[in-house]
Amino acid sequence: MPDLAGAVWPELPERPLLVVPLGSVEQHGHHLPLATDTVVAEAVARAAGLDGVLAPAVPYGASGEHEGFPGTVSIGTEALAALLVEYGRSACRWAGRLLVVNGHGGNLDALRRAVPLLRAEGRDAAWFPCAVPGGDAHAGRTETSLLSHVEPAAVRTDRSVPGVTTPVAELLPRLRAEGVRAVSPTGVLGDPAGATADEGARLLAGMAARLAAAAARWDVGDDGRLG
């Protein structure tokens, strides 16, 4: 999949699928970089091998729940939704389809607002979540394994510490009201122990395969999600 950033306009195919990784700049514990969600989203988009053009990643998202930690930069749901709408309106002047590959759960509300609006305006847009069934929530074994495979030099294994392992569904009321730091002083929701690059490779391959299959079907739900 060619990169939009390095292309010149005459080389672009007619009405291509434009794939846009969407991430965040937010704390990921003591051992993972602030760009973790963006790195994962871009890796999944590349690994899926879609017939399209890969745009530069959008690195900022809605991460207000992590603002108790230094380094987190959140533009919030309203601003992110507006950004996605204007991005789609502009890109769809030449792109036939727009697919946002999302690496951060906090971006979902913005995607559920922006993408259906773009579709209502006649633009063929959709989004896809980088989700691992049964994975832990944040900076635990799942994300540590993924980063160990995709960007191993960025993982500071010697600094990793466990976080809160209570199921996220039980933590949601406090997370929404008080933020992550009030629930987990380490910033981790899960436990990175046991993470391996081999596991990360399998997780990445699974997400990429699900993305490729979903893009081939192009069955878009009412919330804009690619099923």
Task: Give the tens place of pLDDT for each residue, 124-153.
Answer: 999 999 999 989 999 999 999 999 999 999
Structure token pair of residue 49: 């091998």
Query: 136 phi and psi, to 5 degrees?
Result: -80, 170
Note whether 58 and 50 are within 8 A (CB). Answer: no
According to the model, what pLDDT value does residue 169 have?
Answer: 85
Note whether 49 and 178 are within 8 A (CB). Answer: no
**183-208 mean pLDDT:** 97
d(CA 108, CA 223): 10
Question: Is 90 exceeded by the pLDDT of residue 168?
Answer: no
In the predicted model, what is the mean pLDDT of the chain?
97
According to the model, what pLDDT value does residue 184 have?
Answer: 96
According to the model, what pLDDT value does residue 208 have?
Answer: 98
Looking at the DSSP bridge assignments, the partners of residue 17 are: 97
Strands, E, within the chain: which ranges? 17-22, 53-54, 97-102, 125-129
Question: Is 90 exceeded by the pLDDT of residue 61?
Answer: yes
82-117 in b/e form (b: 16+ CB < 10 A) is ebbbebbeebbeebebbbbbbbbbbbbebbbbbbbb
According to the model, what pLDDT value does residue 172 have?
Answer: 87
d(CA 43, CA 27): 19
The pTM (predicted TM-score) of the whole model is 0.96
Closest CA to 37 of 28, 46, 27, 24: 24
At 59, is the pLDDT very low, low, confident or very high (cuts 50, 70, 90)? very high
Q: What is the DSSP string of 16-79?
A: PEEEEEE--B--BTBTB-TTHHHHHHHHHHHHTT-SSEEPPPB--B--GGGTTSTT-BB-HHHH
Question: Is 90 exceeded by the pLDDT of residue 167?
Answer: no
**32-36 mean pLDDT:** 98
**54-61 mean pLDDT:** 98
According to the model, what pLDDT value does residue 58 have?
Answer: 98
